[in-house]
């Protein structure tokens, strides 16, 4: 168990550019989540996958945001035409699909700074 | 999802026992109570989860009264490394289509 891995850990981009973050969940975890966290706030839910199916998207996920999990393993989160308000830490998490006592494991996050 | 309320911040001295209480008056029958710890620039880390009474693991204890409308995270003999933000979450154990909803958490500062 190597934990949830996110890449890159830090990204600085100019406003208007596109960025993509990658998440590798814990192996055999079929659920994968993306969250966003700004300074002083708790993580906010963005979207969730069950295997390759994207089952829920938050209203926070504007049309500039897209997430994929093509083979039910790793996932990518792309932000198009970045804005300064997109600056945040983007967290990926995964969990097993068990009936009780699920624990969601988070990665270390990917910091985005839009200048 | 049941809403949770917890203190914004707490201070404690090293070596003390710290108790952080979370209020969740609208907790549902199927809801579990889960606590996460987050250090700056890191993702949240699972600490403990419980449904009722008391749960203990190697890092913390979780006390849940019979009415389950509140819970208390207990950290024994804290050290400086326990300085972090602690989040209380309530939701079904089978997260299914349900996402975790974080509040602003409790910022715990340990004083030498």
The per-residue pLDDT for range A34-45, each reduced to its tens digit, is 999 998 899 999
Q: How far apart are CA A101 and CA A96, in angstroms?
A: 10
Q: Give the C-alpha distances (Å, rounded to integers) separating B76 from A81, A108, B40, B79, B107.
A: 48, 26, 22, 9, 17
Q: For the segment A56-96, what is each residue's pLDDT rounded down to a tens digit?
A: 888 888 899 999 999 889 999 999 999 999 999 999 999 88
3-state SS class at B84: strand
Q: Transcribe A9-37 into DSSP letters.
A: SEEEE-TT--EEEEEE--TT--EEEEEEE
Choose among B43, B95, B102: nearest Cβ to A31.
B95
Asked if A4's CB is within 8 angstroms of B102's CB, the reply is: no
Considering only the beta carbons, identify the residue of B49, B85, B105 that sits closest to A101.
B49
- Residue B97 pLDDT grade (very low, low, confident, very high; cuts 50, 70, 90): very low
């Amino acid at each position: 168990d190597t934990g949830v891995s996110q890449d890159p850990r830090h990204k600085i981009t100019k406003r208007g550019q596109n960025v993509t973050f990658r998440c590798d969940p814990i192996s055999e975890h079929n659920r994968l989540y993306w969250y966003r966290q700004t300074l002083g706030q708790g993580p906010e839910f963005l979207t969730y996958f069950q295997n390759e199916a994207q089952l829920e998207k938050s209203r926070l996920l504007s049309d500039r945001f897209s997430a994929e999990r093509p083979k039910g393993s790793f996932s990518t989160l792309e932000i198009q035409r970045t804005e300064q308000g997109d600056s945040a830490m983007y967290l990926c998490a995964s969990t097993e699909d068990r009936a009780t006592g699920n624990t969601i494991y988070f990665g270390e996050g990917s910091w985005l700074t839009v200048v | 999802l049941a809403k949770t309320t917890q203190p914004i911040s707490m201070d404690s001295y090293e070596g003390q026992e710290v108790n952080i209480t979370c209020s969740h008056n609208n907790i549902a029958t199927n809801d579990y109570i889960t606590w996460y710890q987050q250090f700056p620039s890191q993702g949240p880390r699972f600490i403990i989860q419980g449904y009722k009474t008391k749960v203990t693991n190697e890092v913390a204890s979780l006390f849940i009264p019979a009415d389950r409308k509140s819970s208390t995270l207990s950290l024994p003999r804290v050290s400086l490394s326990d300085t972090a933000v602690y989040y209380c979450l309530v939701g079904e154990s089978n997260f299914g289509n349900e996402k975790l909803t974080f509040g602003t958490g409790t910022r715990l500062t340990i004083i030498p």
